[in-house]
Amino acid sequence: MRWDIFCKVIDNYGDVGVCWRLSAQLAGRGEQVRLWLDDPDALAWMAPRALQGGVPNIEVLHWTSPLPSGLFEDLPLSDVWIEAFGCDPPPECIESLGRQMAAGQRAPVWINLEYLSAEPYVERSHRLPSPVMTGPARGLTKWFFYPGFTGDTGGLLREEDLLSRQASFDASAWRQGLDLSPAANGASLRVSLFCYEPGPLASVLQQAGRADTASDWLVTPGRAAQAVRAVPGVIGPACRLHALPRLTQHEFDHLLWSCDLNFVRGEDSLVRALWAGQAFVWQIYPQDDSAHHAKLAAFLDWLQAPGSLRDFHQAWNGIDATPAIWPDGTTLLQWRTCTLEARARLLAQADLASQLTGFVLEKR
């Protein structure tokens, strides 16, 4: 089938990250994808071949406002429209769709792909119709499609070859390719840091700096690196910091697979931390109305997080005054076991791209 995926970048990298992963997974299964992005810049480092048309079955199109006249009209009408996170497709596309429907063409299955949450409304709202009441596409139906963590949701993005890639991954060889100082390949604890500006960052780094087991921190560029630079005072010698370059999405996965503890944020990297099967801490994307508090609690419930992991999340996300306690070896093992059990539950469910494809075939 031919798919149009519409993506507006709000901020950070999650919008592009999720849409690119979905595009790549659909394309890998032989679907034809046109990915419309209003800000394609992040793709240049996340998936460098994407912008040069180097990925089979995917065309990346720049969603300008307005769209150049005739651009959409000249393309064959697709079988599926995905508007990511309720972004509303460009008005030129909707007008053109109205004209094509009036000329008797079959309309695409139109899906609103929502944000990821473990809250109960997700199961209730998944697959619900939303009739289009006004405008050129009046009479059509949009469908809500919710990713999620349970069998009654749309599932999570997961490549078909994930397990075989993980089985053949050589973490030590991969780290050597990163060109870090030799210490980072020693017998220490390895930690990746991808975050916004967590309140307890300074305290956590200082605790790690005094710990019996040394830790090597692989710090991602941008907000995480800036937050580390802003830490006042001295961080003890057991905490060793290493600045990473921007990694491709593929390499970002390898980073998570190669670490013993992953600090992740937002939406896409959370899912990748689950697949990585290592201990992780999530910084949720903060919302002004504090709606993220309930979202985090629902996720920790689903995860069946042990008390120490729950407390660390409360602190890391600034939800209450609980101190963030740097985990010892036993605690870290508990966190990892928790991830592995959650991962096993998820592996038993159908992935998002498969479920989306099945849904479209059902609605056509």
Interface positions with ligand TRH (CB under 6 A): 10-15, 17, 46, 194, 220, 246-249, 252, 265-269, 285
| Coil/strand/helix, residue 48 | coil
Q: Which residues contact 25 (CB under 8 A, 6 or more apart)?
A: 157, 159, 160, 351, 352, 353
**DSSP secondary structure string, 184-247?**
GGSSSEEEEE--S--TTHHHHHHHHHHSSS-EEEEEPTTHHHHHHHT--SPPPTTEEEEE----
Q: How far is the CB of 73 from ligand TRH (least distance, A)?
A: 31
341 is catalytic: no
Q: How far is the CB of 84 from ligand TRH (least distance, A)?
A: 11
Q: How far is the CB of 134 from ligand TRH (least distance, A)?
A: 27
- As a whole number of angstroms, the distance between CA 252 and CA 248 comes to 6
Which amino acid is present at 356?
L
Residue of 73, 74, 75 whose CA lies nearest to 96? 73
- As a whole number of angstroms, the distance between CA 137 and CA 97 comes to 7
Token representation of residue 98? 């109205």
Q: Which residues contact 335 (CB under 8 A, 6 or more apart)?
A: 261, 279, 280, 306, 308, 309, 327
DSSP 8-state code for residue 263 = E
Candidates 31, 83, 267, 351; catalytic one: 267
| Coil/strand/helix, residue 35 | strand
If the CB atoms of residues 222 and 306 are measured against ligand TRH, the closer one turns out to be: 222
Candidates 15, 114, 253, 268; catalytic one: 15
CA terminus-to-terminus distance, the chain? 11
Whether 17 and 46 have beta carbons less than 8 Å apart is answered as yes
DSSP 8-state code for residue 326 = P
If the CB atoms of residues 207 and 283 are measured against ligand TRH, the closer one turns out to be: 283
**DSSP secondary structure string, 340-358?**
HHHHHHHHTSPPHHHHHHH
Which residue's Cβ has the minimum distance to ligand TRH? 14
Q: How far is the CB of 178 from ligand TRH (least distance, A)?
A: 12
If the CB atoms of residues 211 and 247 are measured against ligand TRH, the closer one turns out to be: 247
Q: How far is the CB of 323 from ligand TRH (least distance, A)?
A: 25
Q: How far is the CB of 328 from ligand TRH (least distance, A)?
A: 27
If the CB atoms of residues 268 and 351 are measured against ligand TRH, the closer one turns out to be: 268
Q: How far is the CB of 30 from ligand TRH (least distance, A)?
A: 23
Q: Count Cβ atoms below 10 Å from residue 339 Cβ, excluding itself.
A: 21
170 is catalytic: no
The residues assigned a catalytic role are 15, 267
